[in-house]
Structure 1
Amino acid sequence: MDIKTLRAQCARRLAGLEIPDPFDIDVLCENVATHRGRPLHVLPLPDGAPSGMPCGMWMGTGNADFVWYDGSTSRAHAGHIIAHELAHILCDHFGPVDEVLSASLAPQIDPSTVKLMLGRTRYDTEQEREAELMASLLTAPAAAIPKVEGTVLSRLHDNLFAPTRGRRIGGGR
């Protein structure tokens, strides 16, 4: 699928989801839980995880979603990992259930109730490309230029970041 088609598909999937502005990953998680009508639990991966473990995972049960992320990384990177896993949720992606891994991540959950489990270790599948693009779309407000106050700063901000087409510098129209 080409990037233009993929981007349009991602935008359709995000329709109806409130993306917080200013961006806040915790608020986004609450909004996804509300959008899906089921609890979402976001947890750091346990210490001492086996090597080769993905930096993010999603596990879906019959009545809740669980997202794990690398808790030892920066807050910005953790937010992107979480957004990537939220993208898998919003896209209804699926993969094989690894009962051993699910038991080590969430021993309180009966492995027979695990319906879906996805972890990212590679980016070369269609699902991973879609999730990565959607994560970028979800977190885009985090990269937005902050609003400024004051006449001179506001005009400078508008000229640099939201220029009006056809306006000449230094004068009117």
Structure 2
Amino acid sequence: MSLRQLRKECEAGLADLPIPVPFTLDQLVANMEEASGRTIRLHEMPDRLARVNAACGLRLKAGGTSLVLYRRRPTAYQTQHVILHELCHEWFDHGTTLDAEQLRTLLPVFDTSLIARMISPAAAASFASGGGTVQARAQYATHDERMAEFGASLIPRMARDLTTDDMVGRLDNSLSRPVAHRRRGLFPGKRSGDA
């Protein structure tokens, strides 16, 4: 698949993502929870789990809850990108999963007690029996991983292109793009105020 095709597929998949104005991760998660009816929890992985070849982002999905684990990166932008990558998996409803050996390689101390504490004992039992979905941001060999990675790059651009009609929004728009035409939404036919 070409980069152009990947971009079009990502744009189509993210067209109805409820991006908040102004953009914050917390509000994006709240909007995604409302739109999907699922609970999404973000949790920073402790430093003791951070190894050179360990995953920098991990999504665990069971029942009505998804847990996004992430490693803090050197900059806030990089950390946000890791989180957005996992949230793209959630929004695109990717269902691929890592097997137990791949998971142990990427996150050596992972076990179901973490899931029991963060989500629920029932979710931990589901993962132990192979019933949950586990995805990690560590390799990009699959279409789902490339989609999530590209989507994580698109979301901040989409958020910057959305403006509000109040005085501050109009001022920000005119000063940040003094020669460009005002855009109400990133995609043709879709206005930022449409629900």
TM-score (norm 2): 0.69
The 2-side partners of 1:39 and 1:64 are apart by: 5
- Segment of structure 1 superposing worse, 53-62 or 122-131: 122-131
- Structure 1: stretches of 5+ with no match in the other structure: 164-173
The CA deviation at 1:144 is 5.8
After TM superposition, the runs of 4+ consecutive aligned structure 1 residues lying more than 6 A away are none
Percent identity for Structure 1 against Structure 2: 28
TM-score (norm 1): 0.76
Which residue, 178, 184, 188 being the options, matches 1:158? 178
Match of residue 149 from structure 2? 132
Q: Does 1:22 align with 2:22?
A: yes
- Segment of structure 1 superposing worse, 102-111 or 45-54: 102-111
The 2-side partners of 1:162 and 1:118 are apart by: 40
The 1-side partners of 2:73 and 2:46 are apart by: 10
Evaluate the alpha carbon distance shift between residue 102 and residue 131 of structure 1 in structure 2; reply closer, same or farther with a 3 A threshold: farther
Give runs of aligned pairs for residues 67-78 of structure 1, distance below 5 A: 67-71=68-72, 73-78=74-79
Match of residue 95 from structure 1? 97
The 2-side partners of 1:47 and 1:31 are apart by: 29
The 2-side partners of 1:155 and 1:125 are apart by: 40
The 2-side partners of 1:7 and 1:65 are apart by: 26
Match of residue 106 from structure 1? 115
* Alignment: residue pair count: 160
Match of residue 43 from structure 1? 43
Evaluate the alpha carbon distance shift between residue 104 and residue 80 of structure 1 in structure 2; reply closer, same or farther with a 3 A threshold: farther
- What is the RMSD of the two structures over their aligned residues, measured on CA atoms? 3.0
- Structure 2: stretches of 5+ with no match in the other structure: 105-109, 164-168, 183-195
